[in-house]
Chain A
Amino acid sequence: MSDSLNYFRQNRLPHIWCPGCGHGTVTGALTRALAKLGIDKNNVAVVSGIGCSSRAPGYLDFDTLHTAHGRALAFATGIKLSRPDLKVIVMTGDGDCTAIGGNHFIHAARRNIDITTIVMNNSIYGMTSGQYSPMTPTGLLGTTAPYGNIERPFDLTKLAIASGATYVGRSTSYHVQLLGELIEKALLNKGFSVVEAVVGCPTYFGRKNKLGGAVEMFEWQKDHAVNAKAAAVMAPEKLEGKFLIGELYNQAAPEFTAEYAALVDGVRRKYDNFQGGVRECAQNSD
């Protein structure tokens, strides 16, 4: 514990999250995974967008970047391509990542850039007090879905896999042990990694949908999550209304910054280690 506490800016605590919110649990799981891997805190950049979950980097003792809504992955792409030696982690939420940031998400996955993305999915826009998000289940309520959400939600893990992510897992703030293991493996994966953490938002999502308080929301996670390994041998009807947790995809593929480094090596060999400055350049004609 003391090791992972070392990754916090303790003078920034206590945090702003509501009682029963899962974001602190996820942030804790991340720091424990980093501590377990013994990652040098001078060698980490944590990037976030806007929303409740995106406040996490402020509490963490790394180089931290709290950006604009939806753009964390694009900023992180710049950092990682510029400094491939840094461990780059993105902390985001369901709205930030899959609505306004959806395009950056699929393209970061497509490039398989070595960024670990932790998506805290509370099924709601918490910071703006409870509007429905692209991951709010159909039929449930939000302040902008007062008659029930008629839209269909994303399955973020399927979206990540289809887009080209090379490590994808899902856990919940109830299954903390598993969450830590998934984050650890995500951090070790050389490529784009996505861990979805299903978390409760008792203040808005829970209250609006009459799902009870923090405890009831944890119980809901416990009752509705099925480990992917167990699910593999279960009858489909038993999985009705449940969601899978565990490692859902793990398949190596060429990583973007490594490919770019190889390209640079090749080009520089060809151009005799040219050192920069004004020079003749190929010019476009029509």
Chain B
Amino acid sequence: MRTEFRLSGSGGQGLLLAGIVLAEAAILEDKFAVQTQSYGPEARGGSSKAEVVVSEEDIDYPKATDPDYLLALTADSYRTYGKLQGKGLIIVDSSVQLDPEIKARTTAVPILETASVGLGRKVVANIVALGVLGGISGVVKAETLEAAVLNRVPKGTEELNIKALRAGLELAAKAKKA
């Protein structure tokens, strides 16, 4: 079974790293994973997109065709990719005003606020988002995500990032109940 993620937001939010960690977590669980991105001036601001495909089997086509999960952290990315969303779920940041034209199933989660207010560091929004995606999708276990985060984040920031991941997982649990 193939699970597709599209992570979108603005350049500098670290979504590429979140995508890489998600893919690496899948590999730690012996699954197949591919990560692709829109690459270019976006990395220096503007809209940005990373995609991750996770599967139990060898992956032929590396891009998301009909994402199971769309993460949108900005109004721009929500409007751009939300319109393309089919059967999958949209996970949008609570700060974004919802558009009635976008019909796909949607859940709003306070990712940016949790990072900037709850944790006091808005740079960890990407790891909060990773926790949300991991928790809602259940594609990898929480402890695997922790291990994958620890493999990637700079020394000295482990505690903060694990806190961020757990905060994301909690947001996911709440969102699933809602």
Contacts and interface: CB of A to CB of B under 8 A. Distances in A.
User: Are any A and B Cβ atoms less than 8 Å apart in their complex?
Assistant: yes
A2 interface: no
Contacts of B37: 286
Interface string A258-286: 00000000000000000000000000011
Interface string B24-58: 00000000000001000001000010000000000
Interface residues of A, number: 2
Nearest to B48: A286
A286 B126 CA distance: 13
A196 B20 CA distance: 56
Interface of B: 11, 14, 16-17, 20, 37, 43, 48
A149 B20 CA distance: 61
Contacts of A286: 11, 14, 16-17, 37, 43, 48
A188 to B, nearest CB: 49
10 contacts: A285-B16, A285-B17, A285-B20, A286-B11, A286-B14, A286-B16, A286-B17, A286-B37, A286-B43, A286-B48
A285 B17 CA distance: 7
Nearest to B43: A286
A286 B20 CA distance: 10
> Shortest 3 CB-CB distances between A and B: which pairs?
A286-B16, A286-B43, A285-B17
Contacts of A285: 16-17, 20
A285 B14 CA distance: 9
A271 B58 CA distance: 36
A169 to B, nearest CB: 48
A286 B45 CA distance: 11
Contacts of B17: 285-286
B51 to A, nearest CB: 14
A269 to B, nearest CB: 21
Contacts of B11: 286
A13 B146 CA distance: 75
A251 to B, nearest CB: 41
Given A286-B17, A286-B37, A286-B43, 7 more contacts: A285-B16, A285-B17, A285-B20, A286-B11, A286-B14, A286-B16, A286-B48
A206 B11 CA distance: 64
B45 to A, nearest CB: 12
